[in-house]
Amino acid sequence: MKFGTQSRLRKEALEKMEGIMAQEHELLSLGGQAAAAAHSLGTPLSTIKIIVQDLSKQFKGKKEFEADIELLSSQVERCNQILKRLSLNPIEEDDFIDKDLTIKEYLNEIISSFKEISKKNFIFNFDQYSNDKKITKSIEIIYGLRNFIGNANKFSSKNIYINLKSNNEITEIVIEDDGNGFPRDVLSKIGEPYIKSNDPIEKSKIGLGLGLFIGKTLLEKNFASINCRNSETRTGAEIIIKWNNSDLLKI
């Protein structure tokens, strides 16, 4: 009975993951529809911009609101720039998705995207990194790394630590946070879909584990080995993602 339940849960999680991937590919091929969307979104975006400007005047000098308003304003401007590019070239794809990158460049882009929406500190260290070989663009690697970094962002107190290192044989990414770490009763189940802690304190914070399952599945599909545990040097969780350099060239 338990085996059947686990098989069903894994099947549901995989179907959801495949749906996400299919949606991403569909978004990248919208072409002319993107231009139409850009045109249609212009008016509501202008309205949002006017409201943001009014809010900025209304809450001027109130530090507890100014940072959020500035962030909102910058995101509106970013949307404007994206829509402008789509209007001029409706088949243009996101540069991040559309080019071959080194692992360091992948991480830089992902971290930058989180910095735009998060108030947490991202500490990225790559002092021991020497692998500058580019790998073929991979939506799966993007989603996999984003899921793990996003999870660290969600459960950290203030800081997310990302360490990238390599030598002639391997490339390794270590993602740590300063949160409470994984509850002991789910440690052995990390990477399975739909897990929950029995600890009443942790129960509401852990979620269903689907993000970790998707991240682990996508990266393992691309030759990575994943080790999820609690950090030995910090208070939070630690994710170790490792590739043989020869396998990275197969992606």
Residue 208 lies in a domain: yes
> In the prediction, which pLDDT does 203 show?
45
Question: Which of 90, 114, 132 is the C-terminal boundary of a domain?
Answer: 90
The token pair at 158 is: 């203030």
> In the prediction, which pLDDT does 183 show?
84
Same domain for 71 and 116? no
Residue 78 lies in a domain: yes
Same domain for 120 and 242? yes
> In the prediction, which pLDDT does 90 show?
45
> In the prediction, which pLDDT does 69 show?
83
What are the pLDDT tens digits along the chain (251 aa)?
545 566 666 666 666 656 655 555 544 444 445 555 555 666 677 778 888 888 888 888 888 788 888 888 887 787 777 666 655 554 444 455 556 888 999 899 899 888 888 889 999 999 898 888 888 877 788 888 988 999 899 889 999 999 999 999 999 999 999 999 888 877 777 766 656 666 655 544 445 466 788 788 889 989 999 999 999 889 999 999 999 999 988 88
> In the prediction, which pLDDT does 91 show?
44
Q: Give me the CATH number covering residue 225.
A: 3.30.565.10
Same domain for 84 and 122? no
Same domain for 192 and 84? no
pTM: 0.63
Q: Give residue 76's identity as a one-letter amino acid code.
A: V
Give the domain extent around 58. 32-90
Q: Are strands 237-244 and 225-230 parallel, antiparallel or unpaired?
A: antiparallel
> In the prediction, which pLDDT does 134 show?
87
> In the prediction, which pLDDT does 7 show?
62
Are the beta carbons of 17 and 193 closer than 8 angstroms? no
Nearest to 82 by CA among 35, 25, 114: 35
Same domain for 142 and 118? yes
- The C-alpha atoms of residue 21 and residue 239 are separated, in whole angstroms, by 23
> In the prediction, which pLDDT does 29 show?
45
